[in-house]
Structure 1
Amino acid sequence: MLGMLFNEKECKELDYVLRKELDEMLLDLSDQRLDREIRRAIANRYKTVFRMYARFAPSKELSKYARRIVL
């Protein structure tokens, strides 16, 4: 486990970067033209970035990025 200290400006920047990354991945996951393997890789990466974002995001913001799992 690694720990990092951020000032307020850096926290806002990290929040912005993670939200934009999640938005991009959601867009890619909805693109049916992408190969199944590519979408699976994006989904795995999405889980990791979502968990990072979940560590400091308010639950109201977090619910915007929660994915419904379809089996």
Structure 2
Amino acid sequence: MLGMMFSEMECKEFGYVLRKELDEMLFDLSDKRLDKDMRKAISKRYQTIFQMYARVAPAKELSKYVRDKRHGGER
């Protein structure tokens, strides 16, 4: 495990970058033209980025990015 210390401003910026990445991946996952393998790779990366975001985000913000597993992860 790797530890990092951030100032308050850096933590907010880190959260912003992660949110933008999550938004971009959700947009890509909504594109029905992508094949199954590509969607699976994006979904796996989404899980990793979401876990990172969960460490810095308030619960109210985090709930916006939770994906529903019962429907193939689609929101």
TM category, shorter: over 0.9
Tell me the CA shift for residue 39 of structure 1.
Answer: 0.5
Which 4+ stretches in 1 moved above 2 angstroms? none
TM-score by length of 2: 0.90
Provide the identity percentage.
Answer: 68
Q: In 2, Cα distance between the equivalents of 1:59 and 1:11?
A: 16
Task: In structure 1, give the amino acid aligned to 2:18.
Answer: L
Tell me the CA shift for residue 18 of structure 1.
Answer: 0.1
Q: In 2, Cα distance between the equivalents of 1:53 and 1:12?
A: 11
Matching residue of 1:40 = 40
CA deviations over 1:9-53 (Å, ceiling 9, x no partner):
111110100000000000000100011100000000000000000
Q: In 1, Cα distance between the equivalents of 2:57 and 2:8?
A: 14
Give the unaligned 5+ runs of structure 2.
none
Matching residue of 1:11 = 11
TM-score by length of 1: 0.95
Task: In structure 2, give the amino acid aligned to 1:26.
Answer: L
Give the unaligned 5+ runs of structure 1.
none
1:57 aligns with 2:54: no
SS in 2 for 1:67: coil
1:67 aligns with 2:67: yes
Q: In 2, Cα distance between the equivalents of 1:4 and 1:20?
A: 21
